[in-house]
Amino acid sequence: MSSIPATAPPAPADNGRRALRTQLLAQRAALPARAEADARIAASLSGLLAGLAVRCLGFYWPIQQEFDARGAVAQWLAAMPGRQAALPAVSRPGAPLDFHLWTPDTPMATGHYGIPVPDGTDAATPDALLIPCVGFSPDKFRLGYGGGFYDRTLAALAPRPLAIGIGYEACRVPLQAQAHDIAMAWIVTESGAF
């Protein structure tokens, strides 16, 4: 059961987080040398994944100038038979994410919020998740879009999947963790994996 209520009242820090989120999204949209940064993130992510014993990797469909992990995930899948990848789907607001198997050839449908989701593939339970970060702190707490989907998902899955945040160095900021926040095991940026 999630520790985050489906209709949580706004926390006092929400207005500050909302303003920070807006600022960081603008910064991410204006990043210079984006192709170079993305190539470095892909290399760092590939190196990290090669050293982890992950069988099913959950990741995200890129929106709002997020790093596009599809190429790195496709390479990871091709490197060893038996690996699986899965994309999230929102079954309903306030619920943990559901994951469905994905390959580069998977037909996609439009899911909640207009985000593509696998069309007709089996459900999956990832043992590691790539999680997009609008911002992140040096102690590996992430700032997302404010919907709480990944926090609820990490809290609900047992065993808890390895959480790997993906972000850009320009979005590394001090964050005050909230009671429901779960630190990432790893953060991957254009500067490497830590």
Which residues carry a binding-site annotation for ATP? 17-21, 142-150
Give 6's Cβ-side CA count (13 Å radius). 8
- Distance, in Å, from the CA atom of 60 to the CA atom of 188, rounded to the nearest integer, reads 14
Binding residues: 17-21, 66, 142-150
Binding residues for substrate: 66
